């Protein structure tokens, strides 16, 4: 697509592949828009984080997602969660630090009234938010709408059992555990924002997102928003091999 100057919106890549895409494009002359929108729900969560924090400085972002077991999620929806034994880096006030999946729980109340603990998961939002909105801290956490399923997965990871079944030999087993699409259910996200205004006053904001049509619809919405941005603006040129994140447009 880049060689043929075709505008591109790329979604559903986990963080390692997301970073590889950035590295591959560093020394390439990009002459058409390239949007790497692999953040949660096609970058929708990060886009809302930017919208509601644009007047703040030293912003901290905490994105929390509630994964419904009845969601009509596509097979790529579990790609993030199939990397539950791989540590990753997150931005904190003191700098970058290493974090582990399914750790550091926080209690969250979602738009549907469901209250549960959410656990760390690696998504490209950890990469894009510090760069695009200069967030001093960015975190993503997730939970299922079944506490038994959430705590069961946390136990599998923390006891080392998940690591034992992490090879290619057990790919089908892991997929069967993680991917069981249902008949359809809403997807809920809560974003906690904290930052200072121009006068130094601290503000705390909570953004609630609920899509009754679920993850696939919200991801498609994110992709459509990005596609509209790059197709409606005919004069977009990406200089110096620069690429865009959803929050940049």
Q: In this structure, what CATH number is given to the domain that contains residue 79?
A: 3.30.360.10
Per-residue pLDDT at 238: 45
Q: Is residue 122 part of a domain?
A: yes
In a domain, 76, yes or no: yes
- Asked whether residue 209 is domain-assigned, the answer is yes
Label residue 68 exposed, middle or buried (CB < 10 Å: 0-12, 13-18, 19+): buried
pLDDT tens digits for range 61-109: 999 999 998 887 666 666 666 788 899 999 998 889 999 999 999 999 9
What is residue 78's predicted lDDT score, i.e. its pLDDT?
65
Rg (CA), the chain: 18
Residues in the chain predicted with pLDDT less than 70, given as ranges, are 73-81, 233-242
Task: Please tell me whether residue 71 adopts helix, strand or coil conformation.
Answer: coil
What pLDDT score was predicted for residue 174? Answer: 82
Asked if residue 72 is part of any domain, the answer here is: yes
Q: How many domains does the chain have?
A: 1
pLDDT number for residue 235: 54
pLDDT of residue 232: 73
Q: Which domain holds residue 78?
A: 43-214
Helices (H), the chain: 15-25, 44-51, 125-132, 147-158, 161-164, 171-178, 214-232
């Amino acid at each position: 697509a880049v060689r043929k100057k075709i505008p591109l919106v790329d979604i559903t890549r986990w963080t390692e592949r997301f970073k590889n895409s950035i590295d591959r494009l560093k020394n390439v002359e990009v002459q058409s828009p390239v949007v790497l929108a692999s953040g949660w729900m096609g970058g929708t969560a990060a886009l809302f984080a930017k919208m509601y924090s644009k007047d703040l400085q030293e912003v901290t972002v905490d994105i929390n997602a509630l994964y419904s077991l009845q969601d009509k999620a596509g097979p790529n929806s579990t790609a993030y969660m199939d990397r539950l034994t791989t540590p990753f880096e997150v931005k904190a006030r003191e700098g970058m630090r290493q974090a582990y999946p399914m750790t550091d729980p926080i209690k969250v109340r979602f738009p549907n009234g469901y209250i549960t603990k959410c656990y760390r998961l690696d998504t490209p939002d950890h990469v894009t938010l510090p760069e695009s909105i200069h967030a001093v801290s960015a975190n993503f956490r997730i939970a299922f709408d079944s506490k038994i399923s959430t705590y069961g997965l946390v136990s599998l990871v923390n006891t080392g059992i998940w690591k034992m079944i992490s090879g290619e030999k057990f790919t089908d087993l892991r997929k069967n555990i993680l991917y069981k699409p249902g008949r359809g259910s809403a997807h809920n996200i809560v974003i906690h924002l904290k930052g200072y205004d121009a006068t130094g006053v601290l503000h705390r904001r909570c953004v609630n997102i609920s899509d009754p049509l679920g993850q696939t619809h919200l991801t498609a919405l994110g992709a459509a928003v990005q596609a509209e941005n790059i197709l409606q603006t005919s004069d977009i040129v990406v200089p110096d091999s620069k690429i865009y994140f959803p929050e940049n447009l």
